[in-house]
Amino acid sequence: MKQSKILITSALPYANGPLHFGHIAGAYLPGDCYARFERLQGCDVLYICGSDEHGVAITLSAELAGRTPKAHVDHFHAINEAFFQRLGFSFDHYSRTTWPGHVATTQQFFRDLLANGYIEEKVTEQLYSEQDAKFLADRYVVGSCPHCGFDQARGDECQKCGASYEATDLKDPRSKITGAPLVRKPTNHWFLRFDLFKDKLQAWLKTRDWKPNVLNFAKHYVDELKPRAITRDSDWGIPVPLSEAKGKVFYVWFDAPIGYISATQEWAEQKGTPKAWEAFWLDPATKYVQFIGKDNIPFHAVFFPAMEMGQNIPYKLVDELPANEFLNLEGKQFSKSEGWTIDLERFFQRYTTDQIRYTIAANAPESQDAEFTWKDFQMRCNSELLGKYGNFANRTLIFAQQHCGAAVPALGQLDEADMVFQTRIIELSQLAADCYKHFQLRKASQTIMELAQAGNVYFDAKKPWVSAKTQETRPIMQTTVALCLEALKTLSLISFPIIPETAAKLWKLLGFSSELQDQQWNLVMSSTVPVSQKLPVPSLLFQRVEDAWIQEEIELLQTLSKKKTTQVETPKTLVTIDEVRKLELKVARILHVERVPKSNKLLKLRVDLGGEERTIVAGIGHSIEDLESLIGRHVAVVANLKPAKLMGIESQGMLLAVSTAKGLEPLNIPHAVAGDLIS
């Protein structure tokens, strides 16, 4: 029987800093667990990842670090690859987008799109530094916000009022690095005509069975597709392969997803079978699963599929797109710059890979943002891994050593409790398989613990230490132990995708000489642990996480965060109380909410100010998953702010928001009336 081919990719992590546990929860641990599960199913799995190494953010960080861009990405590529290895990831290949083969594949993508009429050249005005004799990308630019006048506004977004704009809209633009003034200057760039793919994408999306939020976002995005620039002026990136495009490179969002293909090509080359990549990318029967974070939805659900549709080579389009939310740390986003993070070297000196893998899986941010807290980590380790999983394994194996001659006993006649437990083992193995197939790590983790606890309850109810006392009742004891060993066999199998080191160790403690990763799920479940198979001396699978350790971790986090907190500076411009009184703050009731096309951040609100309706554009879209939940809320707005256009929509006021662990959320005034003044 021919093996099913499954191609799995996880979003390429940006080689601009070290990864942390928050990154792992979204696109990486779910991908690794799924790859491990499908290998156990006997599928021909190829799991691909690698470093995303281009873009302006890297050149800027490299300059600040005193390194060349190449040295910068070399540094973080090595760090992040080692991090994945430390966490037991099973990538078949971990590549990087500075590999020469990636350059060639990206340039071929461009040539096909150009030849097929999907690329157009345009003259645009960009900001140019005469002092540096080069165009500057928006990350290198600061200036005065065209909306509120804030004089330190970034090149793409004002961090004070939240407005989005083009860098050329800034007043008094200047270099972020040197402070030199910038001028507008014409330059040629190449645009990808995404609008020409609208019909194809809409028809294709109708065939996808994804999470509703992913599918709805993609469909909405397609409706508003327009040509998008794919080139920029820079000396770091993949050169545009045209003689008239000297000094032009591709935007990182264009070349990064092509890295999935080039990484597979590099894998094939290193195997000595250069054409092997085609069996995955050019076979329509391949199942292609992309694991991403929610911030990557437009690039993987819209842009990359369109780029593939414009090729002369029939590349495989994505079948499944599990897009996960974010994992926060103790109520706040992970942030190395603020000291709100976990030191990985320190972590692995005290705790194990499987402890963090299990905790993240049990709290997987599958439908909403999730939290890592040290107290929850301790509970998962002590109550679940040690108290349920480890306890069931240890008591069963020690009892078998002492009362069964360190060998697997025969299964005797089953009573009702035996049959119920035997049926439950099978049911939970099937439930676990279904969870993995549908990318439900939380539920898979619960199922693992449900089986472990069912084993503990069965062991206690059967009291094998009593039935071991007489020859007449020894067969009852042996049946109890045999069924517990069957449960442990199943437990090792269903837990392997999430806690592979522990599961493999448990497999060996059952006397198997083979490797668990080489087994097939159905064969393991359809066979029993061989009678008389020798059982090695058992050892503990998990260690207790002490209260003192956790208190130390919490205090360390707070201490490091305080050290990183910068001293608050006196604002350059102080306002008087009379100036504050000029602001008219009112209560508004939200009538309607919709997302602003082509923006992940902006929402368009229709509000009632007490007999007057207005449109307000607010930058809270990242934090609000359920738009309907905003309708009817009473919120605070600045009612006398001069109207400003954001993404082509006139905003007739400003929504006041509060920063929470989930991001920006409206400042609610629950017991007020629309139109009331706030003072």
Residue 676: pLDDT band (50, 70, 90) is confident
CA distance 319 to 304: 13
Q: What is the mean pLDDT of residues 558-572?
A: 60
Q: What's the pLDDT tens digit per position in 50-80? A: 999 999 889 989 988 899 999 999 999 999 9
Helix residue ranges per DSSP H, 463-602: 464-467, 474-495, 500-509, 521-526, 547-564, 577-581
Distance CA(451)–CA(469), nearest Å, equals 28
Q: DSSP E strands: which ranges in 596-675? A: 603-608, 613-618, 634-638, 644-646, 649-651, 654-655, 657-660, 663-666
Average pLDDT over residues 93-114: 98
Q: What is the pTM of this model?
A: 0.82
**227-269 tens-digit pLDDT:** 999 999 999 999 999 999 999 999 999 999 999 999 999 999 9
Average pLDDT over every residue of 547-574: 73
Q: Coil, strand or helix: which one is 173?
A: strand
Give the per-residue pLDDT at 20: 92
Return the axis-axis angle of helices 500-509 and 474-495, rounded to nearest 10°: 150
CA contacts within 13 A on the Cβ side of 257? 23
pLDDT of residue 644: 86
CA distance 225 to 239: 25
At 627, the pLDDT band (50, 70, 90 cuts) reads confident
pLDDT in the model for residue 584:
85
Instruction: Please check the confidence at residue 567 and state whether its pLDDT lies above 80.
Output: no
Q: Partners of 268 in the beta sheet?
A: none
* Residue range 140-181, pLDDT digits in tens: 899 999 989 999 998 888 888 877 788 899 999 999 888 899
Top-confidence residue, 600 or 211: 211
- Indicate the pLDDT class of residue 646, thresholds 50, 70 and 90: confident
- Could you identify the residue written with the tokens 């079948």? 319
Beta-sheet pairing, 657-660 with 663-666: antiparallel
Show the tokens assigned to 186. 């014409």
Percent of the chain with pLDDT over 90: 74
| Mean pLDDT score, 580-597 | 84
Average pLDDT over residues 413-429: 98
pLDDT category, 444, cuts 50, 70, 90?
A: very high
Question: What are phi and psi for residue 645, nearest 5 degrees?
Answer: -90, 125
What is the amino acid identity at position 488? L
Decide which of 132 and 190 is more confident.
Answer: 190
Query: Residue 574: what pLDDT?
Result: 61
Beta strands in 155-269 (DSSP E): 171-175, 183-192, 228-229, 231-233, 248-250
- Predicted confidence at residue 561, as pLDDT, reads 78
pLDDT at position 570, please? Answer: 42
Query: Taken in order 522, 523, 524, 529, is the CA torsion positive or negative?
Result: positive
pLDDT of residue 524: 98
Question: 566 pLDDT band (50/70/90 cuts)?
Answer: very low
- pLDDT greater than 70 at residue 573: no
Residue 568: predicted pLDDT: 39
Give the helix/strand (H/E) hosting 254: helix 252-255
pLDDT bucket at 668, cuts 50 / 70 / 90 = confident
Q: pLDDT tens digits, residue range 179-208?
A: 899 999 999 999 999 999 999 999 999 999
Is the confidence at residue 311, as pLDDT, over 50? yes
Indicate the average pLDDT of the chain: 92
